[in-house]
Structure 1
Amino acid sequence: MPALLPDEVLLREALEIPDAAPVVLRTREPLGAGTVTGFEVIGADGHTATYFVDTSGRRVAQETGLATGTPDAPGERIWLHPQDPHLPALAPVAFGDAARTLLHRIGREVVEAPELVAYRAGRRAVFRVVCRDGIRWVKVIRPERVERIVGLHALLADAALHVPQIEAWADAGLLVLPQASGRPAVDVAPPASVFLDDVDRWRAAMADAPLENRARSGLPERAEWYTARLVPRLAPEAAERLRAHAARVAAVVGDDGVLTAIHGDLHFGQLFVDDVGRMSGVIDVDTAGRGSAADDSAAFVSHALASAALDPGARGGWAFTVALAALERWDDPAVHVRERVAVHLWGHALGADDLGDAARRDVLLATADALLAGEGVPKDGLMDGFGTP
């Protein structure tokens, strides 16, 4: 039997969960100086609850569960979803009338209870809310980020960059946005060349946006975090290969070169197109700022490759086609695009391994190896289940 993660050991001890009781790992990602890990705990009566173990060391305004350390120097903490101490507005939206009240203030009548559609513990949550006049999206974020994100959305919307304008916000960490114009790009699946032409035009226009803050990147730190956790789980030869790659990558991905305004987390899941496949909407610009254009290129390519590995059907086939075309367009040794893609792929590989999917982990690592060797993207694994596009 594999050894338990330290976070699971801590959870079992804190909640006095019997050894025989099932505890299932659901999510795990870096946060602050540590991690935040989500577990599904199944009680003797069959009732399921989701707990998070947080070793980030980040200070919060108020603890919502079990905690060690002090307010100024937090240790480990455990909370029951949705009582996320980093997102104090999450529980009021999930169980209360916070979203309904905020929407009512701007004349929107809610006709269905908010539906949680995305959640990253300690970072953000997104709710879909059906109103009388259409869909609204309520984002729950850390309170200290509200002012910057509201200003960022206003600036990019005014620059005609297809970014939806925020309709309302609350200092507690709530944003209300309308539905993006168009449909998700993957649902329409426009030809890769047409789609990427539009992406290029959008990136060129975005580069001129007068942003002053730095975009999210941290690739050297992320590369170290991913490899430190992957290496112990790999066979000796694979572990040694990853160590060698990591040393090479760390030396180059921290050099951002010329800074320009970028999305900060660009991928096709953030992009919407109209019925004829032309770009019409861009979402999740919270990460935007000044950074290396190569970071957006790498995030886009890696997400498309990881999506292909997840879906052997038509959507995965389209993602693979787009990934190859994007890499051909944006591959640039001078700014180390392939090295940046590899870091993202290591992150996807770690996520797959955390969920017990060693086969997908190995496919993603092999893809990163091929890119770092200057080779093409291997079809095996990524292309299982559908023909060559």
Structure 2
Amino acid sequence: MSSLDLDNPAELLGVIAGQLGLSLIGWHATHSEPARHGNLLGFEIELEDADGQRQSQAIFIETAPTEEPRENVLVLQQPGTDSRIAAWVYPHDPSLPALAATVFSDSASLALARLGVDVAAPQLSVLAYRPGKRAVIRVDGGTERVYLKVVRPGKAAAIVGRHNSLLHAGIDVPRVIGWSEDGLIALNELTGVEAQRIVTALDEGFLDRVQELTARLALARIDSPARESLVDRLDWYRNRLVDRMPEQRRRFRKLADSIRQLLSEGRTSEVALVTIHGDLHAGQIFVRDAPNAAGHVISGLLDIDTAGLGDPADDAAAFYAHLLVLAQHLSDARRADAAEHVRTLADAWRRGWIRDGDPGFSARARAISATHFLGHALRQSSPDAAEAMVRLAVTAAR
């Protein structure tokens, strides 16, 4: 067969189209992110059948797929080599078997009914999709708006438990309406708006309220661990960046050494584990206007799949890193004033890392935030955008 070279994917996409009995007319890249092994790439492709009828499909390609056979997955191997790729057509994500039933009205209505939600003709909007990991679908058309979260089978029960634990602790997270073992969770709607959408209207008072939120989270009872800290996968990020930019091998080695040194300084004494969000940022926090008070109050918290026992410096670092990444995106969009406002918020947040009761907090948060920037660098499609993220990592690690 033809080459599996993804540096020039047109030929490979043509082969995949042929396997579907169709011809490739056009394509463009839509997604690129590192996986545990290899990369996960997404493409929007235009296809044509033998009768000249055209259709568009979203296709995803794994560069180092599992050996296990999976339904609705096409596997291609380069003759004479061990090189393999796997491809699937959205929404038939092999890791999210519940997804396909949630993006079409008729099947979604049945899936919702099994969860106790009666919507005869649901209006569906896919709000988020991380291939192989999760999806969020907004459902309108019933008596109230509902959100469907699709996760890997076997993970739903633990996520439901986290929601119930945080609600019991007085944290405003979405209420679980129903769930299934195959990875489908129905949630109600939070009040307010994502803080990230109105970030230029937020001031340092908002940061105080985020700090209060993390303090309340710390008191919640969750016995399972939070998501693994990104800094504990530092070598993986470094190696992937070296694979992508081999000419900068020495730079990435030096940067990783600096991050490790910071982490070592921050972990000279035992770190007290508390309940954390695990991926805290302004897109996860809902706010509303406070009547008879200045500023905004926090009205809810989203995406607590990652919550559990962990280092509070992880949440502090994630929140900081996401603010600076947002500022970079605003700057790239030529919104200089908005970018500067967000950088000012980030600087104010970082000043709160000096803590009498935890002298290593700042060093750990700097190391973790630097690793976040390396992760963002891997997700960038252009060399300039990746370089901007690496520079943020270098600055954080100083």
Same fold, TM-score > 0.5, yes or no: yes
The match for 2:317 is 298
Q: Which runs of 5+ in 1 are unaligned?
A: 70-74, 374-389
Instruction: Please tell me whether the aligned partners of residues 61 and 85 of structure 1 are also in contact (alpha carbons under 8 angstroms).
Output: no
Alignment correspondent of 1:384: none
Q: Tell me whether 248-257 or 179-188 shows the greater mean CA deviation.
A: 248-257
The aligned amino acid for 1:5 is L
Aligned position for 1:118:
128
- After superposing the two structures, state which structure 1 stretch, 263-272 or 253-262, moved more: 253-262
Shift of 1:225: 3.0
Q: Mark the runs of 5 or more structure 2 residues left unpaired by the alignment.
A: 78-83, 291-295
Query: How many angstroms does 1:19 deviate by?
Result: 12
Is residue 365 of structure 1 aligned with residue 394 of structure 2?
no
Larger radius of gyration: 2
Give the secondary-structure state (helix, strand or coil) at the position aligned to 2:278: coil
Q: How far apart are residue 282 of structure 1 and its match? A: 0.3
For the residues of structure 2 that align with 1:337 and 1:97, how far apart are their CA atoms?
47
Offset at 1:326?
A: 1.2
CA separation of 1:317/1:100 partners in 2, compared to 1, >3 Å: closer, same or farther? Answer: farther
Shift of 1:35: 3.1
Letter of the 2:306 partner, please give it. Answer: T
Distance verdict in 2 for CA 1:16–1:248, change over 3 Å: farther
> Residue 370 of structure 1: CA displacement?
1.8
Residue aligning to 1:52: 60
Q: Verify: 1:166 aligned to 2:176, yes or no.
A: yes
Segments of 4+ moved more than 6 angstroms: 17-21
The answer to whether the 8 Å contact 1:166/1:175 transfers is: yes
Q: 2:34: which partner in 1?
A: 30
User: Is the counterpart of residue 81 in structure 1 residue 90 in structure 2?
Assistant: yes
After superposition, the Cα gap between the structure-2 partners of 1:104 and 1:337, relative to the gap in structure 1 and judged at 3 Å, is same
Map of 2:304 onto structure 1? 285
Q: Distance in 2 between matches of 1:202 and 1:37?
A: 36
Choose from 312, 331, 346 the match for 1:323.
346
Q: CA deviation at 1:185?
A: 1.2
SS in 1 for 2:75: strand
1:213-267 C-alpha deviation (Å, 9 max, x unpaired): 111124245433332232354484x542222111332466596822111000000
Measure how far apart 1:329 and its partner are: 1.4
Do the aligned residues in 1 keep the contact of 2:150 with 2:183 (CA within 8 Å)? yes
* Distance in 1, Cα, partners of 2:244 & 2:183: 38
Report whether the alignment pairs 1:210 with 2:221.
Answer: yes
1:288 maps to amino acid: A
1:261 and 2:281 matched: no
Task: Please say if 1:197 is aligned against 2:211.
Answer: no
Residue 177 (structure 1) aligned to one of 184, 187, 200: 187
Maintained 8 Å contact 2:113/2:119 = yes
CA–CA distance in structure 2, aligned partners of residues 366 and 136 of structure 1: 41
Partner SS state of residue 173, structure 2 = coil
For residues 156-210 of structure 1, the C-alpha deviation after alignment (integer angstroms, 9 at most, x for no partner) is 1111111111111122211111111211113344533211111111111111111
Measure, in 1, the Cα distance between the counterparts of 2:386 and 2:34.
18
> Quick one: which amino acid aligns to residue 216 of structure 1?
R
- 1:319-342 CA-partner distances (Å, limit 9, x unpaired): 323222111212677242111111
Aligned-partner residue type, residue 347 of structure 1: G
Q: 1:6 & 1:331 partners in 2: Cα distance?
A: 45
What is the TM-score of this pair, normalised by structure 2? 0.81
The equivalent of 1:224 in structure 2 is 235
> Structure 2 vs 1, CA of residues 120 and 201 (structure 1 numbering), >3 Å: closer, same or farther?
same
Task: Give the CA RMSD over aligned residues.
Answer: 3.1
| Deviating more after overlay: 197-206 vs 180-189 | 180-189
> In the aligned structure 2, how far is the partner of 1:13 from the partner of 1:212?
48
Q: Distance in 1 between matches of 2:344 and 2:210?
A: 15
Shift of 1:102: 4.0
Aligned to 1:92: 101
In structure 2, the CA distance between the partners of 1:10 and 1:291, relative to structure 1 (3 Å rule), is: farther
What is the 5 A alignment of 1:364-383?
Answer: 364-373=389-398
Q: Which amino acid aligns with 1:212?
A: D
Query: Which amino acid is the alignment partner of residue 262 of structure 1?
Result: I
Per the TM alignment, residue 134 of structure 1 is displaced from its structure 2 partner at its CA by: 2.9
Aligned residues between the structures: 362
1:142 maps to which of 140, 152, 156: 152
